[in-house]
Structures are given as structure tokens and as C-alpha cells.
Amino acid sequence: MKLKDLESILQDVATFENPKVELEQYPTRPHIAARVLYTAETSFEDIEGKVVADFGCGTGVLSIGCSMLGASHVIGLDIDDDALTIARENANEYEDDLPIDFLKCNVKDVAKFHPKLRVNTVIMNPPFGTRDKHADVEFLNVAFSISNSAVYSLHKRSTRGYLEKLALRDARVGEAQVLAELRYDVHAMYKFHKKASKDIEVDLWRFSIVES
């Protein structure tokens, strides 16, 4: 599938109806989602035929994109029932039965409720930790423990140095690379946003996982 075809499919994925600021619900725009997934597949072969988890899947844009690129099974986890309802509706829009399970779960509780969950690849656009401090790092920690191959994650540029050190210290991580510097356009979704659109600088990371 070509990049522009993937992007155009992802444009039809409905986003949050009433986004919840306390859960940091910011959808990944289709052009970013498509580029992240396309890079994971074409540069690293981390999607097709792989079992993928999407942490904080929201309304499912990354999960659906992974299944379009041939993932064998996708598990989308989110804490919010409203987001999951939209995600399931989004997936049902496609003629083919997509191999995605959307599950309600606090990502921080994966080890407790899904102790046997193991995947090849984790893809995530996690909460950046502005409301729930360190949520992004907690998500990464869980991702490193269930993946046997690669973790892709979006993080604020300002945390780059911190994440580099964190990855260096973590025996589960082989290489930690910033694959792209993105400008993430946050449209005025919440009342406290004064401007119609605000760019925040975001890094796309790939962490390779050392098999234990």
C-alpha cells in the first residue's frame, strides 16, 4: 500500500466526540499516523505479519493503520469506554473483518490484568504526562516489558535527553533512535486553548528490544 493511500484511509477514522483533557486525548492526525506506520513497516518491517499493541489507542487510528499494513493481530488498549466505542465503530466501517481487539485497560495495569500479553511491536501516542505526570514513561516501561522486538512512541522534544538516559539504563532496550522530528498540530480542542491551532514539537522514537 502506498503512503498516500494509507493516509487517505486514515482520514475517514472518526476522532473523539468529547475529548477528555484529564486523559490527554489528542488524536494523531492522519498524515502523522500514516507516516509513523509507513516508516515502521518500510524501514524496519515491524508491522506486516506482526502482533502489535497500540497503547492508549483512543479511537483507533494507529490500530486501524497497522491492520491496513498487514499486522496479523492488533490489540488496542485504552482506559476510556467512549473512545473504545468509537474505535470499534471505526473498525467496523471496513468490509473486511479487521484483526483488531479493542480492550478496556489502564496501560499501567497490563501486568496485573494481562500478565501473558506479549507482542512483537508496540506503537503508541501516549499521554505526554502533562496531566498525569510521567504517564509517558510508565507507558514506555510497560511497552518494554511486553514487546520482543520494537517500540515506537511519540514524545515531547523537551524530554529527549531524559529518554536517552532512560533507554541507556534499561537492559531491555538495545538501540534508542529518534527517527523523525514532527510538528504536531494540536487544534483548539479544549476551552483553555487560546489559539486555533498550536504546534508542539514531538519526536518519533524507535526503541529496539533485546530478546530476553
Options 7, 27, 51, 69; binder of ligand SAH; rule CB under 6 A: 27
Residue span binding ligand SAH (CB under 6 A) among the ranges 72-80, 90-98, 164-172, 182-190: 72-80
Nearer to ligand SAH, 47 or 61 (CB): 61
C-alpha cell recorded at residue 146: 511486553
Interface positions, 52-71, toward ligand SAH (CB under 6 A): 56-58, 61-62
Shortest Å, Cβ 210 to ligand SAH: 25
DSSP state for residue 23 in the 8-state scheme: G
Please state, in angstroms and rounded to a whole number, the distance separating the CA atoms of residues 30 and 60.
11
Out of 6, 23, 47, 98, name the contact with ligand SAH by CB under 6 A: 23
CA dist list (Å): 71 to 37, 112, 153, 168:
11, 26, 17, 29
Q: Is 40 in the site for ligand SAH (CB under 6 A)?
A: no
Three cell numbers, residue 157: 522534544
Q: Is 46 helix (H, G, I), strand (E, B) or coil?
A: coil
Does 24 interact with ligand SAH (rule: CB under 6 A)? yes
Q: Measured from the CB atom, is 11 or 169 closer to ligand SAH?
A: 11
Q: Determine if 204 is a binding residue for ligand SAH (CB under 6 A).
A: no
Alpha carbons within 13 A on the beta-carbon side of 126 = 32
